[in-house]
Amino acid sequence: MPHTSLIAALAQHVTLSQEEEAAFLAICEIREAKKKEFLLHTGQPTRALYFVQKGCLRSFIVDKAGKEVNLEFAVEHYWISDIGFGKPALLSIQALEPTQYVQINIAAFEQLTQGYPVFNLFFRKLLQNGYFAFKKRTLSGMTQTAAENYRDFLLKFPDLSQRIPQYHIASYLGITPEFFSSIKSEGLDLYQQAIS
Amino acid sequence: MPHTSLIAALAQHVTLSQEEEAAFLAICEIREAKKKEFLLHTGQPTRALYFVQKGCLRSFIVDKAGKEVNLEFAVEHYWISDIGFGKPALLSIQALEPTQYVQINIAAFEQLTQGYPVFNLFFRKLLQNGYFAFKKRTLSGMTQTAAENYRDFLLKFPDLSQRIPQYHIASYLGITPEFFSSIKSEGLDLYQQAIS
DNA sequence: AGAAAAGAATAAGGTAGTTTAAGATTTGCG
DNA sequence: CGCAAATCTTAAACTACCTTATTCTTTTCT
């Protein structure tokens, strides 16, 4: 059952009939990305959304100074995408590990909503969730110190710090790898507090 | 025609029949808020979204230190809301000027989508737009200097700096009123560049 | 396995933005 | 109008985080 986790993810938001489920699966493509492979480059029209079955993807932008800034990580059972469908993508999306994912073409999805309106609701909820999570993280980023944000990261992605380079985490936290290294060596107590 | 601007805002996203338009207007309530009046308090269940016809609303949170952090301003023809419908609101929403707005109850809206599925699409687009705009601003905030963010603010809300206290703008930019005051006195040239 | 490349730690010096505090100016309101 | 409260400015001391540079460690590639 290659789609088990995907079906479970759908069920979180909507209840589907057998027929709807099948129609949805028909537009899903299972794909593999090698480590460092790009699924989307900034500036390309956004054509798909992605659901990670195994591995890890990141979304990021390049700032004026040419530095990459990580926005989101998507590990097992996470959705990820740029958002301005049709418009040129703000973000790039890249695999940080060999990754197995489901690709859902937006045009095909729009088609699908014609015949099965329930997917409008599904997509709406997905967007709401993503927007909510992003807003929450942004707010934390604005009002907390870097060490506190790191603690939040560890709670949200318990094993990810063992799987990807630290400079990607630093970038996600909005700090330099050097400063990240220094808060780690000082502030491990914060994490101890968090998990205890 | 008290709803002219609202209808125009709908038309940006979807094409509606007379009947659909009427059905939508039936669930809209026109309201007035006095200056400083709250439309939503953090922690309350989110029940509505708002469309500003005249005036200005802000959304904000209170951080751990007790300080208010402004997230979004909504002036004429802007939508604003918390996003985690049903869940306790992350944000508070408050009027910064005497404001005339349209309130759309979420439960009533959900009802409406039963009979008129086009509103699922509408809402989805509204969310996409909001998410996109928020993401864009957040990214700018992360990669730009405060003076550059201020310039972007002036371009997006040309007259708002004359209408509301400056400390609200400072809060929106994520800086203190004192530092805001200092970048203003130095960096007006940036704005001159921007509008020329 | 061994060379090359990528990543991590540490340290010194620098800057954007904060804090605190005081004074100046504007606004709201009886 | 006139006073009180709210808002804005300036400035000095301070802090979180950055930059650059060097060394050490780990991973990747052939």
Mean local confidence (pLDDT), A29-53? 94
Q: Does residue A140 lie within 7 Å of nucleic acid chain D, judged by its CB? A: no
CB A49 within 8 A of CB A81: yes
Which residues constitute the domain of residue B127?
4-143
Q: Does residue A165 lie within 7 Å of nucleic acid chain C, judged by its CB? A: yes
Domain end marker among A96, A117, A141: A141
Q: Residue B189's pLDDT is what?
A: 52
- Are both B13 and B74 inside the same structural domain? yes
* DSSP letter (8 states) at residue B32: E
Q: How far apart are the first and last CA of chain A?
A: 37
- Are both A151 and A115 inside the same structural domain? no
- Are both A157 and A137 inside the same structural domain? no
Chain B 31-90, CB < 7 Å to strand C: 65
- Are both B130 and B151 inside the same structural domain? no
Q: Does residue A161 lie within 7 Å of nucleic acid chain D, judged by its CB? A: no
Mean local confidence (pLDDT), B166-184? 96
Mean local confidence (pLDDT), A89-93? 92
CA distance B135 to B112: 29
Q: Residue B187's pLDDT is what?
A: 64
Q: Does residue B169 lie within 7 Å of nucleic acid chain C, judged by its CB? A: no
Residue A62's DSSP bridge partners are A68
Which of A69, A90, A120 is opposite residue B121, by nearest beta carbon? A120
* DSSP letter (8 states) at residue A27: T
- Are both B13 and B96 inside the same structural domain? yes
Mean local confidence (pLDDT), B146-167? 95
- Are both B10 and B79 inside the same structural domain? yes
CATH number, domain containing residue B95 = 2.60.120.10
Assign B142 a pLDDT band (cuts: 50, 70, 90). Answer: confident
CA distances from B155 to A105, B81, B160, B196 (A): 35, 23, 10, 11
Mean local confidence (pLDDT), A140-148? 88
B135, B139, B142, B175, best to mutate vs chain A, most A CBs in 10 Å: B135
Q: Residue A185's pLDDT is what?
A: 87
- Per-residue pLDDT tens over the stretch B5-48: 999 999 999 999 999 999 999 999 999 999 999 999 999 999 99
Q: Residue B65's pLDDT is what?
A: 82
- Per-residue pLDDT tens over the stretch A106-118: 999 999 999 998 9
* DSSP letter (8 states) at residue A45: B
- Are both B100 and B56 inside the same structural domain? yes
- Are both A107 and A172 inside the same structural domain? no
- Are both A157 and A75 inside the same structural domain? no
Interchain contact, A135 vs B63, CB within 8 Å: no
Q: Token pair for residue B98? A: 């005497």
- Are both A77 and A129 inside the same structural domain? yes
- Per-residue pLDDT tens over the stretch B130-139: 998 998 898 8
- Are both A79 and A18 inside the same structural domain? yes
Q: Residue B140's pLDDT is what?
A: 87
Residue of A nearest to B121 (CA): A120
Chain B 152-191, CB < 7 Å to strand D: 165-167, 177-178, 180-182, 184-185
Mean pLDDT taken over chain B: 91
By percentage, how much of chain B surpasses pLDDT 70? 94
Interchain contact, B128 vs A128, CB within 8 Å: no
Q: How many domains does chain A have?
A: 2
Q: Is the pLDDT of residue A80 over 50?
A: yes
Domain end marker among A118, A141, A164: A141
Which of A84, A123, A143 is opposite residue B63, by nearest beta carbon? A143
Domain end marker among A141, A172, A188: A141
Q: Token pair for residue A184? A: 């780690």
Q: Residue A65's pLDDT is what?
A: 80
pTM: 0.89
- Per-residue pLDDT tens over the stretch B103-126: 999 999 999 999 998 998 899 889
Residue of A nearest to B128 (CA): A83
Q: Residue B87's pLDDT is what?
A: 85
CA distances from B69 to B90, B92, B162, B167 (A): 12, 10, 20, 10
Chain A residues contacting B via beta carbons under 8 Å: 61, 63-65, 67, 69, 71, 83-85, 87, 90, 113, 117, 120-121, 123-124, 127-128, 130-132, 134-136, 138-139, 141-144, 174
Cβ contacts of A111 on chain B, cutoff 8 Å: none
Mean pLDDT taken over chain A: 90
Assign B83 a pLDDT band (cuts: 50, 70, 90). Answer: confident
Q: Is the pLDDT of residue A195 over 80?
A: no
> Cα-Cα-Cα-Cα dihedral of A72, A75, A76, A79, to 10°?
20
